[in-house]
Structure 1
Amino acid sequence: MTEHIGFRTLDSAGIHLFTLAIFSILSQIKAEQEVENLSGLSTNPDKDIFVVRENGTTCLMAEFAVRFVVPYDVLALNGIDLITEQASLALPRGAEIEGKCGSTEAELSISWINDAYTFRIFFLKEVHNLSKGNDIWKINKVQLVYDTSETSHFINAYNPGKHTASSHRLSALVTPVGRSYECQAPQTLTLISSDHQKGVTVSMSDTQIQPFDIKSDFTFSEAYKCITDQREQLEETLPLILGIILALVIVITLSVYHIHLKMTAHQPQLPRDRSLYKNM
């Protein structure tokens, strides 16, 4: 009797462990993330569109045009000295992407030319429990891995190989939680490379990004415009506003003058010559 009970106990434990294993596998499958490169939908040939989806819905979206300027060494004609050249490259449409979504951290990784280049953007959400209105998300790290042995951009590179350029203590694109960041104007970052601390320039333009709290699939939330765009928009609308104000001032002035003429037209005209007063 005791052995029978022990067998049933072991059998139940085995079933329980099997159930937990299946549940764990299903949870991993359910949380599996997929990525899509939708750059072909953009009317701007320099602009890329990347989407990361989780559980069948969008959790990260990024649209931007990105260019890089990467300095590298080449051997001088004398065969002794080194001179610095610059490779200029753009993020291509056919890039491969990977992404990670989380409640407070997210990541977008873009690779091209057989992983000769990998561009990574790391996002962070800062939640302040005491003041919900101050919750923000931002880019806290940008990284570019590049291979100077890739000869289509690096011509005759000296001592070619892979290098990593990274930002330091970055806090960029600070945006209120629940909104996307939008900026048409170019924005430039400088990354420090492992190749003798050279400065790699990253220029992003025509940008709209949202790594958290996307409410609708494939749709950005309300945009938070960068200061540069706000200033340019103000500069564009300011002449119109001033023109409207000037027109209103002219209309008001003419109206007052017209009313004044009407009021004075009904008043009797007094003769200027005092001798005429006797005949009145």
Structure 2
Amino acid sequence: MELLCFEALLEVAGLVHGASAVFVVKNGNGTACIMADFSATFLTSYDTRSGPQNKSFELPAGAEVSNSSSCGKENASDSSLVITFGRGHTLTLIFTRNATRYEVQLMRFAYNLSDTDTFPNSSSTGVKTVESATDIKADINKTYRCVSETQVNMDNVTVTLRDAAIQAYLSSSNFSREGEDPAEAPAPTVGKVPSSLRVGSSRVQGKAGGPSAFFMDPAVFRYNVSGSNGTCLLASMGLQLNVTYRTVDNKTVTREFNVNPNKTTFGGNCSATLATLELHSENLLLLALQFVMNESSSRVFLQGVQLNLTLPDAKEGSFTATNSSLRALQATAGNSYKCNAEQRLRVTSSFSLNMFRVWLQAFRVDGDKFGPVEECRLDENSMLIPIAVGGALAGLVLIVLLAYLIGRKRSHAGYQTI
């Protein structure tokens, strides 16, 4: 789960969302044990007869607290808030606590693909359920508050909460006056930010004690590209643009922008040896990732990246970069490439594409399933470190033991038995 609570972001990005609603769970005595006030947006993709379709929808004003919600036993064990809306859609927040803290241990979303109003032309029916752990937590008797966004990624569904005030295990039937905001870091000065991009960080140079950079990972989303022969590209990843440019006041700056799936559409095209994923939004005019297959070696890799980005504070008003001679994200045809570690792909001297939690496969894709996994070297190295440390510790213990035994033997060498 990725936590994105950046108070200034709503103003600079001009985000619009639906009205918030207050949801209350009460025990048998009529005392509230859970209160939640937020608006929510759901973003997912689903299959239609004409190919994958993106769908974004809001939590409606008519959403209700289900009778299956619970305060737990004596307000001390796991409790849950279950919200129902539409034709069979359910959002569940499951809380747990210890002596000092409580948290939303799990968020679960069940959506009904048979709801033709929400999912028109869906090729599947029935209820699909996804879930994920979250970072929503606060001290007992304090309210979790996040003015901007709290984002939870669950498989191919992204749930974004806004203007959130959430509290469980209440001591009174109202929100605590004390709040806990996870966005404790000061926001950097970022200028005017494209509404389709989230600010990832602003590189700030200066003396110690000066402004600190605010970092947050991009949302992970599942993309796919299909052609006449079925799916040719399947990818789950978070994308971040690292660009260096001159501003209107003639300063050189380096900034990172997270690609926001909520504001982005995707498509592409397929051929026997070429698969292209294209992302578009209001300001992200084009981000194209071009994968090729070398038929002689049966290797698949990312060969080309093209970026066309509108930047209102840039001297030129826009930013473009392209490279068609890369050999990145390599895997054998029929296998998938996976890398949990952050990867920084240098496209040009002024543009790097940062990729998070990548799992992708181009060519020879079986429906919507990834093939056998080929791990990236970054993940392999991260596994080798604890193995090496463990081996070194074991060797050290063995050396100490041998030294002890040798020393003990020598200490007895000068004595005789009487």
Regarding TM over 0.5, the answer is yes
Contact 1:188-1:204 at 8 Å conserved across structures: yes
Residue of structure 1 in register with 2:266 after alignment: 97
Superposition deviation, residue 227 in structure 1: 0.9
What CA distance in whole angstroms lies between the structure 1 residues aligned with 2:382 and 2:337? Answer: 16
The alpha-carbon distance between structure 1 residues 183 and 37, as it changes in their structure 2 partners (threshold 3 A), is farther
Residue of structure 2 in register with 1:184 after alignment: 340
The alpha-carbon distance between structure 1 residues 166 and 176, as it changes in their structure 2 partners (threshold 3 A), is same
Question: Deviations 1:69-101 (Å, cap 9, x if unpaired)?
Answer: 22232243xxxxx22233421111121001212
Question: Deviations 1:40-91 (Å, cap 9, x if unpaired)?
Answer: 5268962121122345843311111111122232243xxxxx2223342111
Contact 2:278-2:286 at 8 Å conserved across structures: yes
User: 1:1-280, aligned counterparts within 5 Å?
Assistant: 34-37=51-54, 40-41=156-157, 46-54=219-227, 57-76=230-249, 82-94=250-262, 95-113=264-282, 116-128=284-296, 134-148=297-311, 154-155=312-313, 157-160=314-317, 162-192=318-348, 199-215=350-366, 217-240=367-390
What is the root-mean-square deviation of aligned Cα atoms in Å?
3.4
Percent of aligned positions that are identical: 21
Contact 2:224-2:233 at 8 Å conserved across structures: yes
Superposition deviation, residue 34 in structure 1: 2.9
The alpha-carbon distance between structure 1 residues 33 and 183, as it changes in their structure 2 partners (threshold 3 A), is farther
In the alignment, structure 1 segments of 5+ residues that lack a partner are 1-31, 77-81, 129-133, 149-153, 193-197, 254-270, 274-280
What CA distance in whole angstroms lies between the structure 2 residues aligned with 1:235 and 1:57? Answer: 41
What CA distance in whole angstroms lies between the structure 2 residues aligned with 1:229 and 1:42? Answer: 25
Superposition deviation, residue 214 in structure 1: 1.3
Report the TM-score when normalising by structure 1: 0.60
Contact 2:225-2:268 at 8 Å conserved across structures: yes
Choose between structure 1 and 2: higher helix proportion: 1
What CA distance in whole angstroms lies between the structure 1 residues aligned with 2:363 and 2:377? Answer: 21
Letter paired with 1:53: S
What CA distance in whole angstroms lies between the structure 1 residues aligned with 2:345 and 2:417? Answer: 80
Superposition deviation, residue 174 in structure 1: 1.6
Superposition deviation, residue 184 in structure 1: 1.3
State the structure with more CA Rg. 1
SS in 1 for 2:382: helix
The alpha-carbon distance between structure 1 residues 164 and 74, as it changes in their structure 2 partners (threshold 3 A), is closer
Question: Deviations 1:183-217 (Å, cap 9, x if unpaired)?
Answer: 1122222334xxxxx611211121111011112x2
What CA distance in whole angstroms lies between the structure 2 residues aligned with 1:245 and 1:71? Answer: 48
What CA distance in whole angstroms lies between the structure 2 residues aligned with 1:66 and 1:272? Answer: 77
The alpha-carbon distance between structure 1 residues 225 and 37, as it changes in their structure 2 partners (threshold 3 A), is farther
Choose between structure 1 and 2: higher strand proportion: 2
Question: Deviations 1:145-174 (Å, cap 9, x if unpaired)?
Answer: 1122xxxxx43x3242x4421125211112
Q: For this pair of structures, how many residues does the alignment match?
A: 201
Contact 2:333-2:362 at 8 Å conserved across structures: no
What CA distance in whole angstroms lies between the structure 2 residues aligned with 1:45 and 1:67? Answer: 6
What CA distance in whole angstroms lies between the structure 2 residues aligned with 1:59 and 1:48? Answer: 17
Report the TM-score when normalising by structure 2: 0.42
Superposition deviation, residue 246 in structure 1: 8.6
What CA distance in whole angstroms lies between the structure 1 residues aligned with 2:290 and 2:261? Answer: 21
RCO comparison, higher one (Cα < 8 Å, 6+): 1
Contact 2:232-2:275 at 8 Å conserved across structures: no
SS in 2 for 1:68: strand
Letter paired with 2:323: S
Letter paired with 1:120: A
